[in-house]
Structure 1
Amino acid sequence: MKGIRGLITAGAAAVVMSGAASSGAQAASAGSGSRASTPVEPVVVELFTAQGCSGCPEANALLEGLAGRPGVIALTYAVDYWDYLGWPDTFAQPAFAERQRAYQDRLRLRDVYTPQVIIDGSRQFSGARAAEIESVVEEEAGRLIFMPEVEFREAGDRVGVGSGRAPEGGAEVWLVRYRSGPQIVQVSQGENRGLEVRHANVVREVTRLGEWRGRPILLNLPEPSEDGLHMAVLVQAMDDGRILAAAAR
């Protein structure tokens, strides 16, 4: 679908990402130093999609495939700006469209659209460009890491971010809770009328936990609004939106 400017109202700050003890990464306490230069940081893939978008089911399938890979944190954000076409998206929340609008500003894009894929907060692609997205995920998975550790505490009620070089302006720490695995919605109106639209790792809530400015911090995790949700924590640069570190569980 083509993007439409102005349908999303400006709002609360962007949402973001998922946590679990970082995929393949060694755990480190909030007081530990920056991680060694080994390629263990998860690749964060965010898909902005809509049940009323005819081009989105294929992108949803791509995201589901990436979600099954070790070292990838894959998240599906449903947006609501196509609801006027006749089908109100059952997973959409205004905050998710606001997050996408934040990427639009940071990446200097003309508009928002679906399906859109953002990789590590810094590179964007049409969800139809599956081969290119797969290639970039592989490329990002091999990069050397000099970022802080993100570690969930055993009780599951706190998360630590270790020390490291923070970007100018610091970084925000986001908690993203999502429903793992596939979810299927029968769409009865709009462009996908009569289809069963399949989703994976559907984001249900996003919470800003605090700021990270290079020193170790320990943050409390709020209670989830639903049972059975997985969580991801993203450390995201305030200036350009780069995801500096992430973990999911």
Structure 2
Amino acid sequence: MRAKSVRSNLVGTARGMAAGALLMAGTFAAAAQPLTVVELFTSQGCSSCPPANANLIKLKDRPGVLALSFAVTYWDYLGWKDTFGRQEFTDRQVTYEPALGRSGPFTPQMVVNGRADTVGNQLSDIETLIGKDTSPAGPELSLADGKATIGAGTAPPDGADIWLVHYRPGVVDVPVGRGENSGHTLPHANVVHALTRLGTWSGEAATLSLPKAGDGLATAVLVQTLHGGPILAAAAE
């Protein structure tokens, strides 16, 4: 009985080690997966936007997803100036539209990895785009000690933009006093406060110093094909 017990324990130990190795391998594989960037272009003056805002809230903590909310300015004339709106966010959306086959900007709009878009009011539509995205492997990208490190790789012919994003992680509620959403309090997730172009990645390894984010803000860096093209790599704190 003792010999049988020892053998049983050895088999059990071996199985446990194998299971542990598989678990560790799965963990490392998950960690190595590139981030999928989901950008929501929204406005507090848009009555169609709250469902898309709610869906971004559902995505913000999903592993492997970087969810960002960009507030545009072109609905401010309806009576409520978006408290997070910036012209550079509107410009970013406008730049996307030709490559996405759109005639002009609209809200809400969700763009996945700079490659495909949907209105964003149906979570299933967003998840379909995330699942279908087959972005080619871009350069290795990491953030540490106030610096972004980009590995060597094959860059687009004209290079790629390096974007610095400062955003407020979590959810913030905004009471709206006028316009189409007057009297409503709108929740927003991962609101972008600043977007800055740091330079161009030409395929060579590079390290860039990052300006400090403001209080409560987090940092993300995107390496993206020029003129609103596909996002090649992304990293966030």
Normalising by structure 1, we get a TM-score of 0.80
TM-superposed deviation, 1:132: 1.3
Worse overlay, 226-235 or 122-131: 122-131
2:202 is equivalent to residue 209 of structure 1? no
2:116 equivalent in structure 1? 123
Q: CA deviation at 1:223?
A: 2.6
* Cα drift, residue 55 of structure 1: 0.6
Report the alpha carbon displacement of residue 238 of structure 1 after superposing the two structures with TM.
Answer: 1.2
1:103-114 residue pairs with structure 2 within 5 A? 103-114=96-107
Q: Which residues of structure 1 form unaligned runs of 5+?
A: 1-22, 27-39
2:141 partner letter: V
- Report what 1:218 is aligned to: 207
- Cα pair 2:110 2:117 within 8 Å, conserved: yes
Cα separation, 2, equivalents of 1:136 and 1:114: 18
How far is 1:123 from its partner? 0.6
Which protein, 1 or 2, shows the higher relative CO under an 8 Å CA cutoff with sep ≥ 6? Answer: 1
Say if 2:126 is the partner of 1:133: yes
Deviation at 1:106, TM superposition (A): 2.9
Alignment partner, residue 218 of structure 2: 230
Pairs within 5 Å for 1:53-92: 53-92=46-85
For the residues of structure 2 that align with 1:144 and 1:123, how far apart are their CA atoms? 11
Letter in 2 for 1:206: L
- Distance across 1 between alignment mates of 2:210 and 2:222: 13
The amino acid across from 1:147 in the alignment is: G
Name the structure 1 match of 2:137.
Answer: 146
Shift of the alpha carbon at 1:152? Answer: 1.3
Provide the C-alpha distance between the structure 2 equivalents of 1:65 and 1:149, rounded to a whole number of angstroms. Answer: 27
Q: Does 1:160 align with 2:153?
A: no
Superposed, 1:13-52 pairs within 5 Å as 24-26=30-32, 40-52=33-45
| 1:91-110 aligned within 5 A | 91-110=84-103
- RMSD over aligned Cα, in angstroms? 1.6
Where in structure 2 are there 5+ consecutive unaligned residues?
1-28
- Provide the rounded CA distance (Å) in 2 between the counterparts of 1:147 and 1:76: 23
Q: CA deviation at 1:173?
A: 0.6
Distance 2:62 2:109 in 1: 20
Residue correspondences, number: 209
2:162 paired residue among 162, 168, 173: 173
SS in 2 for 1:223: coil
Q: Is the 8 A contact 2:163 2:221 kept in 1?
A: yes
Q: Is 2:156 the counterpart of 1:200?
A: no
- 8 Å Cα contact 2:160-2:201 kept in structure 1: yes
Letter in structure 2 aligned against 1:186: P
Larger Rg: 2
| Secondary structure of the structure 1 residue equivalent to 2:97 | helix
Give distance in 2, aligned partners of 1:165 and 1:228: 35
Q: Distance in 1 between matches of 2:107 and 2:230?
A: 21
Contact 1:41 1:246 in 2 (8 A): yes
Q: CA deviation at 1:239?
A: 5.3
CA–CA distance in structure 2, aligned partners of residues 195 and 25 of structure 1:
39
Structure that is richer in helix per residue: 2
**Alpha-carbon contact 1:52-1:87 (below 8 Å) kept:** yes
Partner SS for 1:135: helix
CA displacement 1:77-130 (0-9 Å, x = unmatched): 001111111111101011100000110133241111000000000111112243
Q: Determine if the alignment matches structure 1 residue 188 to structure 2 residue 177.
A: yes
SS for the counterpart of 1:95 is helix
Matches of 2:77 and 2:155, distance apart in 1: 42
- Among the aligned pairs, what percent are the same residue? 46
Give, in angstroms, the shift of residue 221 of structure 1. Answer: 0.6
| 1:247 equivalenced with 2:231 (yes/no) | no
TM-score when normalising by structure 2: 0.84
